[in-house]
């Protein structure tokens, strides 16, 4: 998809809403990030080892599986990959559970793209 610059990270977007994926992808690629997209949890599980992203943007409510399962697998098999969970579920117990599973950041839905970009920059700081 996008061209990877010297310092720009690769981001895997696991999100079932195609319009949201398109908007996030276009926004991040314009800022120099390389992106890959998975529209289902199953595709996300297949994509992260192949794509080896620096960051996974993970929707919690996927139609085929719970995002927590994906988070757990990523953190068990490739713990250096950063994971930002994006979800409309904003309750504190869910956020606490995600942190225990290894989520590096939580962003509530909907969030404006500039806020997402700020969070991406913060997570990927060296």
> For position 126, what pLDDT does the model report?
81
Question: What is the chain's alpha carbon radius of gyration, rounded to the nearest angstrom?
Answer: 13
User: In terms of CATH, what superfamily is 10-119?
Assistant: Response regulator (3.40.50.2300)
φ, ψ at 66 (rounded to 5°): -80, 135
With a pLDDT cut of 90, the percent of the chain lying above it is 81
Mean pLDDT of the chain: 91
Tokens of residue 89, six digits: 């579920």
Mean pLDDT, to the nearest integer, of 18-26?
A: 96
DSSP 8-class letter at 80: T
Q: Could you state, in order of their start, the residue ranges of all structural domains in the chain?
A: 10-119
User: Do 122 and 84 touch, CB atoms closer than 8 A?
Assistant: no
In angstroms, the CA 115 to CA 110 distance is 10
Where would I find the beta strands (DSSP E) of the chain?
A: 10-14, 34-38, 55-59, 82-87, 105-108
């Amino acid at each position: 998809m996008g061209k990877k610059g010297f310092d720009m990270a690769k981001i895997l977007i696991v999100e079932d809403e195609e319009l949201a994926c398109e908007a996030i992808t276009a926004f991040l690629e314009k800022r120099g990030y390389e992106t890959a997209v998975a529209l289902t949890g199953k595709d996300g599980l297949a994509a992260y080892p192949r794509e080896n992203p620096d960051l996974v943007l993970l929707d919690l409510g996927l139609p085929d599986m719970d995002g927590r399962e994906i988070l757990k697998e990523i953190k068990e098999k490739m713990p250096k990959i950063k994971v930002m969970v994006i979800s409309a579920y904003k309750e504190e117990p869910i956020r606490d559970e995600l942190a225990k599973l290894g989520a590096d950041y939580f962003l509530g839905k909907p969030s404006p793209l500039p806020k997402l970009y700020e969070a991406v920059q913060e997570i990927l700081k060296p």
